[in-house]
Amino acid sequence: MSLLLAGGTGLVGRSLIALAKSRLIPITTVGRRITGEVENELVVDFSDLPSLPSADIAICTLGTTMSDAGSKPAFKGVDFDAVMAFARAAKQSGVRHFLVVTAVGADTESRAFYSRIKGAVEIELTTIGFDRLDILRPGLLLGQRQSRRFVEQFLQDLSPAIALITRGPWARYASISAEQLAGALLALCHETSPGIFYHQSPELQFLGDKASKDDVF
């Protein structure tokens, strides 16, 4: 199994690289800057992507925040335009299985611009024609980011209390660690049934925990 990864310098991407390296899974990163963690890295402009090397699977963990992006167009440029550019380039290179991390609440009808963009990219990805498309919708991501995001850090500090209320019908909003999400991504790489599949936090937590204990993944 060989992987293409967009978003390798982010929280989830860094965890995924570490896990893939520990399992000796070949991985090529595609991004605006190198991670310094793998041998094969492509530094690219997502608005003008070159042809990508062939791979079995492509994983996209690209994402930003409105605060980091600075404007709605800049946010869309990352969370929609760059994601779609990578997906199309991956398809052209022969990738048949694509995995993407969006967010809980992704919905084109949402009042929140963030959620509308996440919903829009999910819909657009279904038109590419991958044999299998896995859409991961985690709740709050836990982990140490390279850049400090004050709202997310505040929510992380409250995560034990939040965990008490994200049960039953609210379970999809449950927080999940970057390591768990990375494990879930690798676990899903081994799924071969064709179709479009959506995954929420409870399932992702289970898959991530299983992957950390199972050498198969």
Tens-digit pLDDT profile for residues 180-199: 999 999 999 999 999 999 99
Summarised one tens digit per residue, pLDDT across range 141-187 is 996 655 555 444 444 444 454 444 555 566 788 889 999 999 999 99
Quick one: average pLDDT of 52-69? 94
For range 57-81, the mean pLDDT: 95
Positions annotated as catalytic residues are 114, 118
Check pLDDT > 60 for residue 91: yes
Q: Has residue 55 got a pLDDT over 50?
A: yes
User: Across the strands, what pairs with 142?
Assistant: 177
Question: What average pLDDT score do residues 98-106 get?
Answer: 96
Contact (CB, 8 A) for 102 and 137: yes
Quote the percentage of the chain above a pLDDT of 90. 77
Does position 118 have pLDDT exceeding 80, yes or no?
A: yes
β partners of residue 27: 3
Confidence label for 210 from pLDDT (cuts 50, 70 and 90) = confident
Q: How far apart are CA 191 and CA 185, in angstroms?
A: 10
* CATH 3.40.50.720 is the classification of domain 3-213: yes
pLDDT of 164: 43
Q: How far apart are CA 142 and CA 157, in angstroms?
A: 9
Closest by CA to 135, choosing from 69, 87, 81, is 87
Domain ranges of the chain: 3-213
Give the closest residue to 198 by CA, choosing from 128, 96, 90, 123: 123
What tokens appear for 175 in the block? Answer: 């927080």
Residue owning tokens 């899903």 = 188
**pLDDT at residue number 152:** 47
